[in-house]
Structure 1
Amino acid sequence: MSETEVTTAPRPLLLTDGRPAARAWSLDPALKHLNHGSFGAVPLVAQERQELLRVEMERSPVVWFPALPQRIAATRVQLAAFLHVTADGLALVPNASAGASVVYAALSRRRGGEIVVTDHGYGAVTMGAERLARRWGGRVRTARVPLDADEDQAYEAVVAEIGQATDLVVVDQITSATARRMPVERIGAEARRRGIPVLVDGAHAPGLLAAPLADATYDFWVGNLHKWGCAPRGTAALVARGPLRDRLHPLIDSWGAADPYPDRFDQQGTIDATAYLAAPTALDFVDRTWGWPTARRYMNDMADYGAHVIGTAFAELTGTDCRVDVGLPVPGMRLVRLPEGLAPSRVEADALRDRVARELGVEAAFTSFGGTGYLRLSAHVYNTSADYEYFAEECVPALGEWARTAHEQHRAP
């Protein structure tokens, strides 16, 4: 829950010509889109910009590709300004997981080969850490952080797993499955004091946080611009500082391999880099139309309202409080507890996501943590109160029936 629950529907955002904000996207109006956080949504102006770039690429590929590194370098300057970092520390990668893989490929064992992660970590990034630990002949140590843990508790849980054998700490800035913040500033500072590299997974941070790297202590940070920033997929930033950044290389070697970091990431053969080049168009569109501070406030208020409306509907249906006490809530994302029996595991949560889209016409995120299923709301500027009211009226009763059926099937001999 947020500190101040929004129980009144926020006034919807409009385009400069008075049309609803959703008209700036190509999202299917026959569906309700309540899951911006998983894959983002690209505004039409950015889609059109990318298509123009693709036309240019295909009309003269021999001109396009030799000039591409310079264009990507210029784009990095714009994206670095959005993130409030310097361009000489930022490389572009397809997604946050790819950025994490770059880091894993660059590091070597120095101590005991142990890597510290948390039980809130994103699956692909954690699996990469496990593979690295096996290669090192070490192991992964998992910090168990309660969902309702406050800053001190979360910090202490992670630091308790750091020891003499630790070679890397991997921690989410904003957790994907549980929509909470981790105290990466304090964790990073303590790891640095001990001389241990830190990788911050900031996949959800760009656009959702005003300056996600401002106070963070890190060696490596990765964040997706195609989520809250609405850039074409996949566009992500890998930001590195300190002497270890010179070890970072693209996962695929190309003619830029001998260049310094981050320039060597600008030349990647025949990769379609139009998503990178069109990313500033998406960021600028939100900024010009509403301004990012206004957009962030709206997303937060809308997520709050959605959690209130849907949580109230579930409570009336089940007779139990479905609100979730998240220790360090983040803007724009909320959890609502599902009825018992729904989404107790990641696989079942994904199956529920697919069924809800197929049968109820709603794109929603369902997650699981500690054997409990949650609806994860992640709002953007195109969402309105009607989206969440529809879910409360049409989907909550169906989910309640599905939960009862699942419970009866579980009890059957």
Structure 2
Amino acid sequence: MSETEVTTAPRPLLLADGRPAARAWSLDPALKHLNHGSFGAVPLAAQERQEILRAEMERSPVVWFPALPRRIAAARAELAAFLHVAADDLALVPNASAGASVVFAALDRRRGGEIVVTDHGYGAVTMGAERLARRWGGRVRTARVPLDADEDQAYEAVAAEIGEATDLVVVDQITSPTARRMPVERIGAQARRHGVPVLVDGAHAPGLLAAPLDGATYDFWTGNLHKWACAPRGTAALVARGPLRDRLYPLIDSWGAADPYPGRFDQQGTVDATAHLAAPAAPAFVDRTWGWSAARRYMDDLAGYGARVIGTALTELTGADSGVDVGMPVPGMRLVRLPEGLAGSRVEADALRDRAAGELGVEAAFTSFGGIGYLRLSAHVYNTAADYEYFAEECVPVLGEWAGENTGKRPAR
């Protein structure tokens, strides 16, 4: 397993009154929730705040909507402080993909119309880059980064694709399918030397990293607040610096269009913006209950422990090493290699996710990279060691049976 393996089960986090941390969420106790990284989970404190705001909106909509830009600006300032960025650099958007779409809509071809991405990129964002390249009459260049590539190797793979025809670099800070970091600081600096704008997809970074934008050279950065920061869904940050940010406009034209960035994003017609207003309540809840440093440490230890117990169970079942060498690992997330015959493609991985939820009562993330299937673990404070022990004992044998159905091979044990 990786060098960040944890052999001892972390003690579960508790609320101030001694109850399990999970009691602060409304998650179905009949399911095992092992995939926080995909859609997040909103604590009751933020849900209740949003319900109060929505009731206020419905009581007096004519009062509500004219006052909304001022209130969103205040929420934006709180979220900017959480991310350690200036409030005037941050706009609120529905999700990280929407942030990328805003950037794609703003840019013009200046040179050869080429866009550099990596083979670890989030599929929806890569599709947006491909559409932009078609509009430009250019093409997408894909940097191939081995899963076990260290910082130097990953940087060199991406830097090699940046040239005189490059008009944009799109790189993930933390990759979705492979749960690894990319050296966005060095890649951004190299792109800057070439005069090429950089979009950093930081979808998983807010909350998982203490200060995700520190030290990075970028023009645009976008990250989801509904994942690790646990904000209501529909809330993400778009951070822009430099002259190109003045070209950014929300995907919906509204009466704030004449305002400077980022204020023009604070008014979006009759969109229900209660998620944005309630968003600060989620990271604030984690902070006052456990403190973010302790929460991150627990999530990382728990993910490492989960990878060990599940990986050991899979190795004993199949006889094949389930360990994964991830070149630049991230806290709170791990990969475990699945048996042959499972999740060999994104479509197969999604089908396995649905089957595991329906038949095993487990919400888990299955991913595919290079034709190999993986279980992607992503822990949060409401998870416990027992969740991963259950998966190892009850679900791993079934995964072995499902793999055998696809390959015609029986598990080793």
> Which range, TM-score by smaller chain?
over 0.9
1:61-99 Cα shifts (integer Å, max 9, x gaps): 000000000000011110000000000000000000000
Q: Following the alignment from structure 1 to structure 2, what is the Cα–Cα distance between the partners of residues 253 and 280?
A: 25
Q: Which position in structure 2 is the counterpart of 1:202?
A: 202
Q: Secondary structure at the match of 1:335?
A: strand
Q: Which position in structure 2 is the counterpart of 1:293?
A: 293
Q: Which position in structure 2 is the counterpart of 1:130?
A: 130
Letter in 2 for 1:165: A
Alignment of 1:215-234 (within 5 A): 215-234=215-234
Letter in 2 for 1:45: A
Q: Following the alignment from structure 1 to structure 2, what is the Cα–Cα distance between the partners of residues 405 and 265?
A: 51
Q: Which position in structure 2 is the counterpart of 1:351?
A: 351
Q: Which position in structure 2 is the counterpart of 1:394?
A: 394
Match status 1:192 vs 2:192: yes
Q: Following the alignment from structure 2 to structure 1, what is the Cα–Cα distance between the partners of residues 215 and 388?
A: 34
Q: Secondary structure at the match of 1:168?
A: strand
Q: Which position in structure 2 is the counterpart of 1:361?
A: 361
Q: Which position in structure 2 is the counterpart of 1:102?
A: 102
1:209-240 Cα shifts (integer Å, max 9, x gaps): 00000011100000000000000001000000
2:2–2:323 CA contact under 8 A, matched in 1: no
Q: Following the alignment from structure 1 to structure 2, what is the Cα–Cα distance between the partners of residues 69 and 320?
A: 56
Match status 1:13 vs 2:13: yes
Task: Give 5+ residue unaligned stretches, structure 1.
Answer: none
1:95-117 Cα shifts (integer Å, max 9, x gaps): 00000000000000000000000
Q: Which position in structure 2 is the counterpart of 1:120?
A: 120
Q: Which position in structure 2 is the counterpart of 1:141?
A: 141
Letter in 1 for 2:53: L
Q: Secondary structure at the match of 1:374?
A: strand
Letter in 2 for 1:47: Q
1:229-272 Cα shifts (integer Å, max 9, x gaps): 00000100000000000000001100000000000000000000
Alignment of 1:43-58 (within 5 A): 43-58=43-58
1:346-381 Cα shifts (integer Å, max 9, x gaps): 000000000000000000000000000000000000
Letter in 1 for 2:326: V
Alignment of 1:300-319 (within 5 A): 300-319=300-319
1:373-399 Cα shifts (integer Å, max 9, x gaps): 000000000000000000000000000
1:183-230 Cα shifts (integer Å, max 9, x gaps): 000000010011000000000000000000001110000000000000
> Could you list the runs of 4 or more consecutive aligned residues of structure 1 that deviate by over 6 angstroms after TM superposition?
none
Alpha-carbon deviation of 1:5?
1.4
1:149-176 Cα shifts (integer Å, max 9, x gaps): 0000000000111111000000000000
Q: Which position in structure 2 is the counterpart of 1:237?
A: 237
Q: Secondary structure at the match of 1:394?
A: helix
Q: Which position in structure 1 is the counterpart of 2:163?
A: 163
Q: Following the alignment from structure 1 to structure 2, what is the Cα–Cα distance between the partners of residues 107 and 142?
A: 19
Q: Following the alignment from structure 2 to structure 1, what is the Cα–Cα distance between the partners of residues 130 and 41?
A: 31
Match status 1:406 vs 2:406: yes
Alpha-carbon deviation of 1:180?
0.1
Q: Secondary structure at the match of 2:116?
A: strand
Match status 1:67 vs 2:52: no
Q: Which position in structure 1 is the counterpart of 2:277?
A: 277
Q: Following the alignment from structure 1 to structure 2, what is the Cα–Cα distance between the partners of residues 31 and 75?
A: 33
Q: Which position in structure 1 is the counterpart of 2:246?
A: 246
Q: Following the alignment from structure 2 to structure 1, what is the Cα–Cα distance between the partners of residues 291 and 297?
A: 10
Q: Which position in structure 1 is the counterpart of 2:182?
A: 182
Q: Following the alignment from structure 2 to structure 1, what is the Cα–Cα distance between the partners of residues 4 and 164?
A: 42
Q: Secondary structure at the match of 1:340?
A: coil
Letter in 2 for 1:122: Y
TM-score (norm 2): 0.98
Q: Which position in structure 2 is the counterpart of 1:25?
A: 25
2:343–2:366 CA contact under 8 A, matched in 1: yes
Q: Following the alignment from structure 2 to structure 1, what is the Cα–Cα distance between the partners of residues 257 and 43?
A: 34
Over the aligned positions, Cα root-mean-square deviation in angstroms equals: 0.7
Q: Which position in structure 2 is the counterpart of 1:42?
A: 42
Letter in 1 for 2:85: V
Q: Which position in structure 1 is the counterpart of 2:150?
A: 150
Q: Following the alignment from structure 1 to structure 2, what is the Cα–Cα distance between the partners of residues 93 and 334?
A: 28
Alpha-carbon deviation of 1:408?
1.9
Letter in 1 for 2:93: V
Q: Which position in structure 2 is the counterpart of 1:90?
A: 90
Letter in 2 for 1:44: L
Letter in 2 for 1:362: V
2:163–2:194 CA contact under 8 A, matched in 1: no
Alpha-carbon deviation of 1:4?
3.0
Letter in 2 for 1:330: V
Q: Following the alignment from structure 1 to structure 2, what is the Cα–Cα distance between the partners of residues 5 and 228?
A: 21
Alpha-carbon deviation of 1:3?
3.0
Alpha-carbon deviation of 1:2?
4.6
* Same amino acid, percent of matched pairs: 87
Q: Following the alignment from structure 2 to structure 1, what is the Cα–Cα distance between the partners of residues 273 and 218?
A: 27
Letter in 2 for 1:107: L
Task: Give 5+ residue unaligned stretches, structure 2.
Answer: none
2:83–2:206 CA contact under 8 A, matched in 1: yes
2:202–2:222 CA contact under 8 A, matched in 1: yes
Q: Following the alignment from structure 1 to structure 2, what is the Cα–Cα distance between the partners of residues 231 and 331?
A: 19
Q: Following the alignment from structure 1 to structure 2, what is the Cα–Cα distance between the partners of residues 280 and 309?
A: 35
